[in-house]
Amino acid sequence: MRKAFTLHTCKTCQRIFDDLDPEANGCDIVNIKEQGIGAIDLDAMKAHAGSYEALFSRRAMKYRSMGLADKKLSENDYRTLILGEYTFLKRPVFLFEDDVTAGSRKSEVERARELLR
């Protein structure tokens, strides 16, 4: 299994996808806005990342507008929020059989590059 989760309108995702070309490297591309994030995929991401919090984006505009910055969130809260609103998933996410990368930090992109080989 190789999946790449992205938001097609995200300029950062577009830049990373242009660089890594995940489709040519055998990834199924999932547009999280159109297709959503399935619970099975999210749980698989968590199994490799160690927590739902590691997959959660605090950059999402709704994070502050929903007052989440002022709340103590549990792992179940993170899971529920990501499943309910695609913008809460760090992106892009590259999900492999035995690993996951999440976000656009240089170290994550380089790890994704290695895993795509």
Task: Give 101-111 pLDDT, tens digit per residue.
Answer: 999 999 999 99
| pLDDT at site 61 | 86
Q: Are 57 and 105 in contact (CB under 8 A)?
A: no
**What is the rounded average pLDDT of the residues 15-21?**
96
Number of domains in the chain: 1
pLDDT band at 75 (very low <50, low <70, confident <90, very high): very high
Whether residue 100 has pLDDT greater than 90? yes
Q: Are 114 and 94 in contact (CB under 8 A)?
A: no
CATH code of 24's domain: 3.40.30.10
pTM as predicted: 0.92
Domain that holds residue 93: 2-116
